[in-house]
């Protein structure tokens, strides 16, 4: 016996399983749907898919459902076609990313060179690997001058450090090769193998080797040259491994800072540039730009430096004060107290160390360093410490001792400077310890130092030492009272800066880690560009004898040749046309396939249903009706947002076995088909206007 098409189920009861058992051969193909009548009862209808079991006449509702299914299949077909087109565009983009020659110039990596700088410092040796390219100057890009080509650093840079410094090999130069091997291995890993032979490698030693005897430093440099010649990198001249003069180190540091601040343009005046104060371990560097007239008349020859980057020429005052680095000055302070003890036989006062501190020793950077001044009495007084640190600067006692006023540290003349300063290295570390921020003043250092020096040593350790730190870091806390006083004396009395002058502290400018090695790499590429501008052929296309920017960059090895550049421009035009056509076609297929409208209506429907559920929950809490909070109706049915029943009671549906499962699946399929067909029909009547959303729940 087959079930009637509109078999009414009275009183919420369902037919017994035996009523439909005779249709077992059609059970797998039948679908059952339940609808809610006006009286609150449910009716079940079946739809057989076999030809002999189908009704002879088709109802309007069934025809509408079939039309909706057909429309849905067409919509899904268009949707899949648009996805295929977008996938094709994506594959094309991935192909061009892999083969960078097909990319527009905005997305291509510039043609760059690697430069390796080995910084042989006093406490360790660092290997820096820079990637440097050529770019046109913003102010002279329209001209075809050689000076319009400027070096450009490509971030990120790579750095590796080993300890101790090469100065520890002074008595055993044979150990230099073993000390450099880890640095060369790091360079091999950072530079592609095909670029090894054309990558320049330079070794520059700083205050660590300047501080020892000359014959010892020369033996170390000779050993370094032998190792670098055997390396796979380009090492052409012995001058590429040398002890760097202090003024050169200072000028390189200034170049790095002002490159990061974009202050190397030729139109920038000295007032618009940044002066650099670098407080290292063994020396201090002071560098700032001065007008050309002042450079001729006021700057001593030993302090003159000229920086040429592209078409920009800057004249600098550069001073490197060996022995006035932080660690060197602190060692000299301890030696001064020791000499006083040897002279008087009594323990001298030690105002730069906190009360309650006892002499201890530590091992840092592989060398034994004595901490403290031997027999002394720690008193922790900032004013007295400041007075003693002034003696380390070699200041002039009166105007007669100064050959030319004004003069600062070691009685050297200071040309006037009215710009901004960046303080690096130990200036930055001390400001970071006191939490002074990126912009600070001399008065801020003074206040922080007065507060720290007055504290007992136990309080200093309790407040600032963490249990997971090493023992030498606890001992290292004793230096910051001296650091604050020494910085105040150096800036206020040695540099003659006002106490309320704001200056910047830090080792980074934006994404750049500024140090002299970065400036050295910029200088090397600038020299290469300058040489290429002389050797590059003239631009025959423009009729001028001067070479174009691309020719100069190509001669310096920083860009492809002109011939390949012209071919590449033609290829670039072709690929741009491909991008535009493919992107327009793919996006138009996706937009006009109706997918966006469907997603929009779905989103609005979901939001409305969520609001309806929240409203019902609030009403349930007010009325205290627990059955309503689960969304069940009077007859065990659950209502949708539009008031129509979605399914029958849960327990009774489960008891009806296979008929319930088939009916639920059919109900879901029918709901989805009705939503899609209703959506498309509504979209046709709306004619592109989606402001009327009154019947959105019936559409989606």
* Confidence label for 426 from pLDDT (cuts 50, 70 and 90): very high
Give me the pLDDT at residue 491, please.
96
CB contact at 8 A, 258 and 266: no
Average pLDDT, the chain: 74
DSSP summary character for residue 3: P
Burial of residue 435, with CB atoms counted within 10 A of its CB: 0-12 exposed, 13-18 middle, 19 or more buried: exposed
Q: The tokens of 426 are what?
A: 């130990």
pLDDT at 382: 97
Q: In this model, does residue 299 exceed pLDDT 50? A: yes
Burial class (CB in 10 A: 0-12, 13-18, 19+), 629: middle
Quick check: 696 pLDDT over 70?
no
- What mean pLDDT do residues 436-448 have? 96
Q: Which residue has the higher pLDDT, 375 or 445?
A: 445
Average pLDDT of the residues in 297-321: 90
Q: Is the pLDDT of residue 613 over 50?
A: yes
The better pLDDT of the pair 581, 276 is held by 276
The pLDDT, as a whole number, for residue 314 is: 94
Alpha-carbon gap, residue 380 to 459, rounded angstroms = 13
Per-residue DSSP letter, 518:
H
- What average pLDDT does the segment 657-678 reach? 48
Give the pLDDT score at 474: 63
Average pLDDT over residues 605-618: 89
Residue 196 pLDDT exceeds 70: yes
pLDDT, residue 197, reads 93
For residue 27, is pLDDT > 90? no
Q: Give how far Cα 138 sits from Cα of 98, 262, 267, 447, 519, Å.
A: 30, 11, 11, 44, 20
Quote the pLDDT of residue 476: 77
Better pLDDT: 197 or 639: 197
| Domains, in order of start, for the chain | 7-57+594-699 (no CATH), 112-244+515-559 (3.30.420.40), 322-509 (3.30.420.150)
Of the pLDDT bands very low, low, confident and very high (cuts 50, 70, 90), residue 307 is: very high
404: Cβ contacts below 8 Å, ≥ 6 apart: 413
Predicted confidence band of residue 61 (pLDDT cuts 50, 70, 90) = low
- Answer yes or no: is pLDDT of 624 > 60: yes
d(CA 646, CA 652): 15
pLDDT at 315 over 80: yes
Average pLDDT over residues 668-675: 48
Q: Which position has the higher pLDDT, 575 or 208?
A: 208
Note the pLDDT of residue 577. 66
pLDDT-derived band at 650 (thresholds 50, 70, 90) equals very low
Q: What is the pLDDT of residue 655?
A: 43
Whether 604 contacts 693, CB under 8 Å: yes
Question: Looking at per-residue confidence, does 138 or 281 come out higher?
Answer: 281
At 108, the pLDDT band (50, 70, 90 cuts) reads low
**Position 36 confidence tier, pLDDT thresholds 50, 70, 90:** very low
pLDDT tens per residue across span 403-416: 788 888 998 889 98
Q: Work out the pLDDT band at 28, boundaries 50, 70, 90.
A: very low
Specify the pLDDT at position 452.
95
Chain centroid to CA 534: how far? 38
pLDDT-derived band at 104 (thresholds 50, 70, 90) equals low
Tokens of 357: 């501190």
CA distance 283 to 168: 18
The whole-number pLDDT of residue 95 equals 64
Element (H, E) at 603: helix 595-623
Q: Summarize pLDDT for 199-249 with one digit per residue, the tens.
A: 999 999 998 898 889 999 999 999 999 999 999 999 999 999 999 999 999
- Higher-scoring residue by pLDDT: 98, 239: 239
Cβ atoms 148, 551 nearer than 8 A: no
Q: Which is nearest to 113 in space by CA: 553, 518, 536, 568?
A: 553
Residue 563 has pLDDT above 50, yes or no: no
574: confidence class by pLDDT, cuts 50, 70, 90: low
Q: What pLDDT, on the 0 to 100 scale, is given for residue 142?
A: 41
User: Which pLDDT belongs to residue 565?
Assistant: 42
- 24 pLDDT higher than 50: no
pLDDT value of position 118 = 97
Residue-level pLDDT at 59: 64
- Specify the pLDDT at position 6: 41
In this predicted structure, the answer to whether residue 460 has a pLDDT above a threshold of 70 is: yes
Average pLDDT over residues 457-463: 87
The per-residue pLDDT for range 79-95, each reduced to its tens digit, is: 777 677 777 777 766 66
Count how many Cα atoms sit within 13 Å of the Cα of residue 291 in the half-sphere of its side chain.
7
Residue 537 has pLDDT above 80, yes or no: no
pLDDT at 159: 94
In the chain, % of residues over pLDDT 90: 37
- Find tokens 């029943």 and name the residue: 645
- Which of 123-127, 197-201, 280-284, 402-406 is the least confident region? 402-406
Q: How far apart are CA 446 and CA 383, in angstroms?
A: 9
pLDDT band at 185 (very low <50, low <70, confident <90, very high): very high
Max mean pLDDT range (19-33, 396-410, 571-585)? 396-410
Q: What digits encode the pLDDT tens for the residues 369-398?
A: 444 456 889 999 999 999 999 999 999 887
**Whether the predicted pLDDT of 363 surpasses 90:** no
């Amino acid at each position: 016996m087959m079930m009637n098409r509109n078999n009414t189920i009275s009183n919420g009861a369902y037919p017994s399983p035996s009523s439909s058992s005779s249709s077992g051969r059609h059970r797998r193909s039948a679908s059952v749907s339940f609808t809610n009548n006006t009286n609150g009862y449910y009716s079940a209808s079946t739809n057989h898919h076999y030809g002999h079991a189908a009704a002879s006449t088709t109802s309007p509702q069934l025809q509408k459902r079939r039309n909706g299914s057909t429309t849905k299949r067409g919509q899904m077909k268009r949707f899949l076609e648009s996805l295929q087109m977008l996938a094709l565009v994506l594959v094309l983009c991935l192909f061009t990313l892999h083969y960078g020659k097909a990319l527009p110039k905005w997305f291509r990596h510039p043609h760059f060179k690697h430069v390796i700088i080995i910084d042989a410092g006093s406490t360790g040796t660092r290997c820096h690997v820079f990637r440097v390219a050529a770019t046109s100057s913003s102010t002279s890009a329209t001209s075809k001058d050689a000076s319009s080509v400027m070096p450009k650093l490509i971030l990120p840079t790579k750095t590796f450090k080993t300890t101790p410094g090469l100065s520890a090999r002074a008595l055993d130069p044979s150990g230099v090769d073993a000390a450099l091997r880890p640095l060369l291995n790091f360079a091999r890993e950072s530079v592609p193998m095909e670029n090894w032979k054309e990558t320049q490698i330079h070794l520059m030693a700083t205050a660590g080797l300047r501080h020892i005897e000359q014959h010892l430093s020369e033996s170390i440099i000779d050993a370094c040259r032998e190792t670098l010649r055997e390396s796979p990198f380009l090492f052409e001249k012995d001058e590429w491994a040398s002890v760097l003069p202090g003024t050169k180190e200072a000028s390189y540091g200034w170049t790095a800072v002002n490159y990061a601040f974009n202050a190397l343009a030729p139109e920038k005046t000295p007032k618009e540039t940044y002066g650099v104060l670098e407080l290292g371990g063994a020396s201090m560097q002071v560098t700032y730009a001065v007008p050309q007239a002042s450079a001729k008349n006021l700057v001593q020859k030993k302090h003159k430096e000229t920086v040429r980057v592209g078409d920009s020429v800057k004249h600098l005052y550069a001073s490197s004060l060996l022995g006035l680095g932080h660690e060197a000055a602190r060692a000299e302070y301890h030696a001064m107290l020791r000499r006083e003890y040897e002279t008087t036989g009594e323990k001298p006062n030690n105002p730069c160390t906190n009360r309650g501190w006892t002499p201890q020793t530590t091992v840092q950077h592989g060398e034994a360093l004595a901490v403290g001044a031997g027999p002394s009495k720690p008193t922790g007084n900032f004013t007295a410490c400041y007075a003693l640190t002034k003696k380390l600067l070699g200041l002039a006692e009166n105007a007669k001792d100064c050959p030319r006023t004004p003069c600062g540290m070691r009685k050297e003349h200071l040309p006037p400077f009215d710009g901004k300063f960046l303080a690096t290295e130990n200036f930055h570390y001390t400001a970071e310890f006191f939490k002074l921020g990126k912009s600070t003043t001399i008065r801020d250092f003074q206040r922080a130092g007065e507060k720290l020096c007055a504290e007992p040593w136990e309080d200093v350790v309790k407040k600032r030492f963490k249990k997971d730190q090493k023992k030498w870091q606890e001992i290292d806390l004793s230096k910051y009272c001296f650091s604050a006083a020494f910085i105040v004396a150096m800036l206020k009395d040695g540099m003659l800066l006002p106490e309320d002058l704001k200056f910047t502290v830090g080792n980074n400018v934006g994404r750049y880690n500024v140090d002299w090695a970065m400036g050295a790499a910029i200088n090397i590429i600038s020299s290469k560009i300058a040489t290429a501008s002389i050797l590059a052929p003239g631009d025959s296309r423009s009729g001028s004898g001067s070479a174009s920017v691309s020719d100069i960059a190509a001669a310096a090895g920083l860009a492809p040749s002109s011939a390949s550049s012209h071919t590449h421009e033609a290829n670039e035009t072709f690929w741009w046309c491909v991008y535009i056509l493919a992107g327009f076609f793919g996006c138009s297929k996706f937009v006009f396939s109706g997918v966006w409208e469907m997603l929009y209506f779905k989103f609005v429907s979901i939001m409305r249903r969520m609001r309806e559920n929240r409203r019902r929950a609030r009403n349930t809490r007010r009325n205290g009706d627990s059955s309503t909070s689960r969304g069940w109706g009077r007859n065990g049915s659950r209502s949708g947002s539009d008031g129509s029943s979605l399914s029958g009671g849960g327990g009774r549906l489960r008891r009806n076995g296979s008929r319930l499962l088939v009916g639920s699946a059919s109900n879901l399929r029918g709901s989805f088909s009705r939503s899609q067909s209703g959506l498309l029909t509504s979209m046709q009547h709306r004619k592109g206007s989606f402001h009327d959303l009154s019947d959105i729940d019936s559409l989606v």
